[in-house]
A and B are shown apart, each in its own frame.
Chain A
Amino acid sequence: MILLLIIIILLVIWIIAIYNSLVVKRTRVDNGWAQIDVQLKRRYDLIPNLVETVKGYAAHEKEVLEKVAELRSRAMGATNPKESAEANNMLTATLKTLFAVAENYPQLKANENFMRLQEELTATENKIAFARQFYNDVVMDYNATIQKFPQTIIASMLNFKAREFFEAPAEEREAVKVKF
């Protein structure tokens, strides 16, 4: 009788421990996503400023400027990690083009506001890349945990669902490095 009681108590403690570790991992995933979100918003805020500055010196580079603006609003409207990742990866590529184009305008390159924006955007791009790397690491850990036995029993009972990765663009998978 007492033995049975002890076994039950141990079992309950064990289940609580597993549940808590699952919660910790899930929170880490949520935090990772929040980090990405903060940095993406920061980028959305910087872009109109950048577009205005570039317009002042290179007004006829319309095509790339319009594309940046369009992708920005598309990325802002994304509702899940997958959509957001796609739009933001395209935005990253287009921004690269924009900064490459800027190379042809010495006056623009020398503009203090432009230089400041360039450092800010480089920093933001790096933060997005690093936040994504961190997010993907914790998602991998979380997804692996909820598939492992015996955690999988408790995970499926209490509705812990696998999370989506924030996919990196193919050419960036090798090393997280953004250069303008």
Chain B
Amino acid sequence: MRENLYDLIAANKRKTFIFIIVTSLFLGVLGYVVVELLNWGTAGYVFFALFIIIYNFVLYYNSDKIAIASTGSVPADPEEFKQLHNVVEEVAIAAGIPKPKVYITPTPAPNAFATGRNSQHASIAVTTGLLEIMNREELQGVIAHEMAHIRNYDILLMTVVAAIGGLIVLLRDFFLRGMFYGGKRKDSRRGGSSGGILLLIGLVLAIIAPLFVALIRAAISRQREYLADASGAYITRYPQGLAQALSKLKQSYQPMARASQSNAHLFISSPFGKDRFNVSNMFATHPPIDKRIERLNNLVL
């Protein structure tokens, strides 16, 4: 079935929105349970609200520096990497955003990622391995995919998702600790049933929280990958370039040494190599490459 790009983008936005709502509700319930159980009162809510805001703020302003540093990327020399600079500038013009800063990640694994809190403060990094195997058109496709991540504000979204995820786990720890040390006082005063129900809810949430976080993050990341493929193809109006690049990436799948869970979603293909996520694709940050190529080939621009 051939899909219209605008439908695809709309569907992706809708799904992402639902994910965020569900996650926020989950966070709200968990926060409520913790604050009530530990009898922190209003101060507890204020503390959590402040914590969420500050946590997000710090992450938001440093997301690019963290990603660049954690992968060991260095600025790309404009003379040595003339073609790369040219391609990035071309695609930036097509996307109608300023040219992002260009970085080189010295590793033989072919991959690329984008980072930055908005299109005015964005960076794109490609690995030396990628430059070796891609021709000009394929490189353009890869850069367009990264440019789409920047223009779609994916970095911001994933930062928020990661922050919510971290917070859920943190709340769970508060809850577990509180239950063992301080929780009893309150239960006896309230005398029973409502406290008991809260305790039960808290326990169930504590068990499923980390699983839930991983699932949500992976699901959002996968949606954004499809969306970046589609809007990348729309930027260059040439889906074949990216499709070819993806099939090359598939052939030379190899893990990156300095990738971690926290930046996996930024890359164009999963930085962990083939095996790590074979167990179940529900936890994968990237959709299967074959499916991505298939979608690109079915795209109507």
Query: B83, A119: Cβ atoms under 8 Å?
Result: yes
Question: A60 to B140, alpha carbons, bound, how many Å?
Answer: 36
Residues of A with C-beta under 8 A to B236: 130, 176
Residues of A with C-beta under 8 A to B96: 32, 134, 138
Check if B36 is an interface residue, CB within 8 A of chain A. Answer: no
**Which residues of chain A (105-123) have a CB below 8 Å from chain B?**
116, 119-120, 122-123
Question: A51 to B93, alpha carbons, bound, how many Å?
Answer: 27
Residues of A with C-beta under 8 A to B87: 123
Check if A74 is an interface residue, CB within 8 A of chain B. Answer: no
Query: A175, B237: Cβ atoms under 8 Å?
Result: yes
Query: A176, B237: Cβ atoms under 8 Å?
Result: yes
Check if A127 is an interface residue, CB within 8 A of chain B. Answer: yes
Check if A133 is an interface residue, CB within 8 A of chain B. Answer: yes
**B 34-57 to A, binary, CB cutoff 8 A, 1 in contact else 0:** 000000000000000000000000
Check if B121 is an interface residue, CB within 8 A of chain A. Answer: no
Query: A130, B238: Cβ atoms under 8 Å?
Result: no
Residues of B with C-beta under 8 A to A75: none
Residues of A with C-beta under 8 A to B10: none
**Which residues of chain A (143-180) have a CB below 8 Å from chain B?**
175-177
Residues of B with C-beta under 8 A to A116: 82
Q: Among A119, A122, A130, A177, which residue has the most Cβ atoms of chain B within 10 A? A: A130
Question: A126 to B136, alpha carbons, bound, how many Å?
Answer: 11
* A122 and B237 contact, Cβ closer than 8 Å, known pairs A130-B94, A134-B93: no
Question: A127 to B87, alpha carbons, bound, how many Å?
Answer: 9
Query: A123, B89: Cβ atoms under 8 Å?
Result: yes
Residues of A with C-beta under 8 A to B95: 134
Q: Among A35, A119, A120, A175, which residue has the most Cβ atoms of chain B within 10 A? A: A175
Question: A152 to B236, alpha carbons, bound, how many Å?
Answer: 32
Check if A54 is an interface residue, CB within 8 A of chain B. Answer: no
Q: Among B82, B90, B136, B137, which residue has its beta carbon within 8 angstroms of that of A130?
A: B90
**Chain A positions near chain B (C-beta within 8 angstroms):** 32, 35, 39, 116, 119-120, 122-123, 126-127, 130-131, 133-134, 138, 175-177
**Chain B positions near chain A (C-beta within 8 angstroms):** 82-83, 86-87, 89-91, 93-96, 136-137, 140, 236-238
A-B contact pairs, 8 of them (CB 8 A): A119-B82, A122-B136, A130-B93, A134-B96, A175-B238, A176-B94, A176-B238, A177-B238
What are the 9 closest A-B residue pairs judged by CB atoms, nearest first?
A130-B94, A123-B86, A126-B90, A130-B93, A134-B96, A176-B237, A127-B90, A131-B93, A175-B238
Q: Knowing that A175-B237, A175-B238, A177-B238 touch, tell me 20 more A-B residue pairs with CB under 8 angstroms.
A: A39-B93, A119-B83, A119-B86, A120-B86, A123-B87, A123-B90, A126-B90, A127-B90, A127-B93, A130-B93, A130-B94, A133-B94, A134-B93, A134-B94, A134-B96, A138-B96, A176-B94, A176-B237, A176-B238, A177-B137
